């Protein structure tokens, strides 16, 4: 059990450091967009991780979880696309969005 706790603590620590580092970014330009995107990025990553374990839920809860995951992915990826506007999303953010959608579709199809 402590191994899982340690793993969680390490993962959480990485995201805390990411958020802290983003606060040091300038509020303007591309860096400002990244700074303003931290909450959306963290939420998409959290949804991705939650989808990894959605199979552990009973069928009714799983269906609700998948619906909620879809809503969250739409909301946060939409916010990111709106924030970046005509500027292409940074590769890592675009990849995160694609991974979240892929994982959701995979889980919806029983995978």
Distant-in-sequence, close-in-space partners of 56: CB < 8 Å, separation ≥ 6: none
28-32, 57-61, 83-87, range with greatest mean pLDDT: 83-87
pLDDT tens across 68-107, in order?
999 999 999 999 999 999 999 999 999 999 999 999 999 9
Quote the crossing angle between the two packed helices 2-23 and 29-36, to the nearest 10°. 140
Distant-in-sequence, close-in-space partners of 73: CB < 8 Å, separation ≥ 6: 44, 47, 97, 100, 101, 104
- Spatial distance between the Cα atoms of 15 and 22, rounded to a whole number of angstroms: 10
**Percentage of residues in the chain having pLDDT higher than 70:** 86
pLDDT tens across 36-50, in order?
898 899 889 889 988
Q: Which structure tokens are listed for 25?
A: 């970014």
Distant-in-sequence, close-in-space partners of 75: CB < 8 Å, separation ≥ 6: none
- Spatial distance between the Cα atoms of 44 and 28, rounded to a whole number of angstroms: 23
């Amino acid at each position: 059990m402590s191994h899982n706790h340690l793993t969680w603590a390490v993962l959480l620590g990485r995201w805390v450091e990411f958020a802290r580092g983003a606060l040091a970014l300038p509020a303007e330009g591309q860096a400002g967009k990244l700074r303003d995107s931290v909450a959306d990025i963290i939420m998409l990553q959290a949804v991705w991780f939650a989808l990894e374990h959605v199979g552990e839920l009973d069928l009714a809860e799983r269906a609700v979880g998948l619906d909620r995951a879809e809503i969250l992915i739409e909301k946060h990826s939409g916010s990111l696309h709106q924030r970046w506007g005509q500027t292409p999303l940074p590769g890592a953010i675009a990849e995160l969005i694609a991974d979240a959608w892929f994982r959701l579709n995979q889980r919806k199809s029983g995978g």
